[in-house]
Amino acid sequence: MKKKILAVVVALAAFVGLFASQPVQKQSIQAAKTTKTAKKTTKKKATKKAKAKQISVTYTLKDTTKAKNKQTLAKKTFKVKKGTTVFTVLKKAWKVNYTKSSYGVFITKIKGLGNEKKKLYWTYTVDGKMAKVAADKQKLTKNKSKVVFTLKKY
């Protein structure tokens, strides 16, 4: 009789143990699904932030030395990381000759145009405002900015 009671108790314990472990497994599966969803959401947010940090900038090269009107030589639009310098993008777009000083870079030629002997120099504006610093110091922070480099005689 004791053996029968012991067998019933063991069977009952095994039965309870079997069903008691089932909800735990479901919870761990649910937790794994929640973790995957959270990772996907975090990844999407990171991608959106990366895209939000990208800005569009249009560069235009103009030559005022040959024609009465400002002659547009080239125009390109770039997607760049917010905070990139004007000079960094310029170097990616065209061949640039420059000298360095304690104030920053001094651009002598873009696309082979410029002549110190003839006093032909490049100046630039960002969104219509004349730059107050060298191109390697000027950061691009506004989306859809317009950077215009103009070759002038001084």
Q: What is the pLDDT along the chain (154 residues), one digit of tens a residue?
A: 556 565 555 555 555 454 555 555 555 566 556 666 666 666 666 555 555 589 999 999 999 887 666 688 899 999 999 999 999 999 999 999 999 999 999 999 999 988 878 888 899 999 999 999 999 999 999 999 999 999 988 8
> So what's the pLDDT on residue 117?
81
DSSP 41-52: HHHHHHHHHHHH
10 Å Cβ neighbour count for 14? 10
Q: What is the pLDDT of residue 85?
A: 95
**pLDDT for the residue 92:** 94
Q: Whole-prediction pTM value? A: 0.65
What is the spatial distance between Cα 75 and Cα 148, in angstroms, rounded to a whole number? Answer: 9
Q: Are 113 and 65 in contact (CB under 8 A)?
A: no
pLDDT at residue number 35: 62
Q: What is the pLDDT at residue 81?
A: 95
The CA-CA-CA angle for residues 124, 126, 127, to 5°, reads 135
Angle at 133 between CA 50 and CA 93, to 5 degrees: 55
